[in-house]
Structure 1
């Protein structure tokens, strides 16, 4: 989108923009720090009549109180599997019990640790606490830290994760799993060709985690369904993101903003690039877009 189109889109949407915020790497940094400037900007924007939604890979169980306390109009969670607006459920798509059972058995058979993402909680595989430790520390290091932080623990990163629970469930939005190699993701796509697949924690062959969810569910699709519910046009939408999973929503929305810490593939398709999360990137972009 050319710069003049960005200006026109913002001018047209200023009375009541629909703002979509990715969470990790966009609203909070990779150590889960929430900048005060972002909180203030969101509250001012909502005070000006704009609606603000988080649009995240996290399921609702992983959206902790500090995020809700900002003041939000709703959530798109599970990379699009769950949509809630003003407390009303707009969309909720889950894997069937049989689909969940097949994926869990396949991951067990391949020796991959994983966790089930449900609105009722995050449910870890038997060896996840130990098996995911290297990937969790590498994820932290890959996002701007010089070396792996050996003080990081799986339970510290996932404070409410549930261990030892039933893993055959019918309420699962998606399943994330540790990649021993990128080929694990390719194998999952080939075996479960009727499900939605993604990777995260890195780019290309350096990805650290894979995920498996309901076929056809993306952030883009969920935003489309939310706009139908609200009865508004996507010309009013502004999206913020930092990772490859955000590309579909940045391309779909009228204005797509990449964080300064975003990967190059995101920056290349964005309408403009703001500062990093920790350098008040959201607040700066909100001012540039005349939201505050």
Structure 2
């Protein structure tokens, strides 16, 4: 898919014209990835694959809405087949293979953000269209996270050789502009408060998107860049109203998505903030959560 390969067909803010409206019974669904399509061990329920494919065959539109950069979306998730994707938490959006939205940080914002990270002593990685750029310690922290919370054993290999860790081994140079989003990681639960205060109103800072790390980690975008803002831009391009839109997610970067769709559905393990904003809830990732939500709304 073009949105995974980093193909650039449109830059800056959107210029694609609105599409013809869809029939009133057609729906558009925006699906989070981590904690929604797949669990912490990257497992996807067979029923999720079937739900997405059946819904599309029935004339509905299904897009990803993830905090991952375009190239971070796992191949086995992309292979399910989608009508497009919002990636990097709203930094990029594509319809089919056409990139229709890009909202990134300029060099001045990137430099300010990196300086705050360095002052706070956290590890971090920058997400751009071209890839993910981590600092030296990110892969070690992520390997620890996978051992502790995803049951990975790394038997017979070094942690940096693991396919889920290898993309987070440091590579140079770090980009100095056109960064869509950054993730910071550490062990101090005070990281989020200190970093969000230091960055100020020019940035959108949230926490809780990496389960079990809590306020020791978080993600940073340009102010106003969220999944919800991207969805508001895409809906007229796709020919849907907000009332026809369904969002399904579990973490704090899904809050703004729930604010703009007609139906917000929280996964069983969603954070409190998401459950409070949701219209309803569904079962867990491997307990047919997507399938059950699709059945409830007549998509399959």
| TM-score greater than 0.5 by the shorter chain | yes
SS of residue matched to 1:176:
strand
SS of residue matched to 2:139:
helix
Aligned pairs (5 A) from 1:147-166: 151=154, 153=159, 155-166=162-173
Indicate the residue corresponding to 2:11 in structure 1: none
Separation of aligned partners in 1, 2:58 and 2:216: 40
SS of residue matched to 2:240:
coil
Indicate the residue corresponding to 1:4 in structure 2: none
Indicate the residue corresponding to 1:57 in structure 2: 67
Indicate the residue corresponding to 1:144 in structure 2: none
Separation of aligned partners in 2, 1:13 and 1:255: 17
Q: So what's the TM-score if we normalise by structure 1?
A: 0.85
Indicate the residue corresponding to 1:121 in structure 2: 131
Separation of aligned partners in 2, 1:159 and 1:239: 31
Q: Does 1:248 align with 2:256?
A: yes
Q: Does 1:20 align with 2:20?
A: no
Indicate the residue corresponding to 2:243 in structure 1: 235
RMSD: 2.3
Question: How has the CA–CA distance of structure 1 residues 162 and 96 changed in structure 2, closer, same or farther, with 3 Å as cutoff?
Answer: farther
SS of residue matched to 1:192:
helix
Indicate the residue corresponding to 2:287 in structure 1: 279
Separation of aligned partners in 1, 2:136 and 2:167: 16
SS of residue matched to 1:256:
strand
Separation of aligned partners in 2, 1:262 and 1:234: 22
CA contact (8 A) 1:174 1:212 kept: yes
1:13, distance to aligned residue in structure 2 (A) = 7.3
Indicate the residue corresponding to 2:109 in structure 1: 99
1:275, distance to aligned residue in structure 2 (A) = 1.0
Indicate the residue corresponding to 1:201 in structure 2: 210
Q: Structure 1 stretch 148-157 or stretch 177-186: which is displaced more?
A: 148-157
SS of residue matched to 1:19:
strand
Q: Which runs of 4+ in 1 moved over 6 A?
A: none
Separation of aligned partners in 2, 1:262 and 1:88: 31
CA contact (8 A) 1:114 1:178 kept: yes
1:84, distance to aligned residue in structure 2 (A) = 0.6
Q: How many pairs align?
A: 273
Question: How has the CA–CA distance of structure 1 residues 131 and 271 changed in structure 2, closer, same or farther, with 3 Å as cutoff?
Answer: closer
CA contact (8 A) 2:69 2:129 kept: yes
Deviations along 1:122-149, one digit per CA (max 9) or x if unpaired, are 11102222344445555x26xxxxxx75
CA contact (8 A) 2:191 2:215 kept: no
CA contact (8 A) 1:174 1:213 kept: yes
Q: Structure 1 stretch 158-167 or stretch 69-78: which is displaced more?
A: 158-167
1:14, distance to aligned residue in structure 2 (A) = 6.5
Question: How has the CA–CA distance of structure 1 residues 162 and 119 changed in structure 2, closer, same or farther, with 3 Å as cutoff?
Answer: farther
Q: So what's the TM-score if we normalise by structure 2?
A: 0.83
Deviations along 1:246-291, one digit per CA (max 9) or x if unpaired, are 1221232111111122223322332222111101111111111110
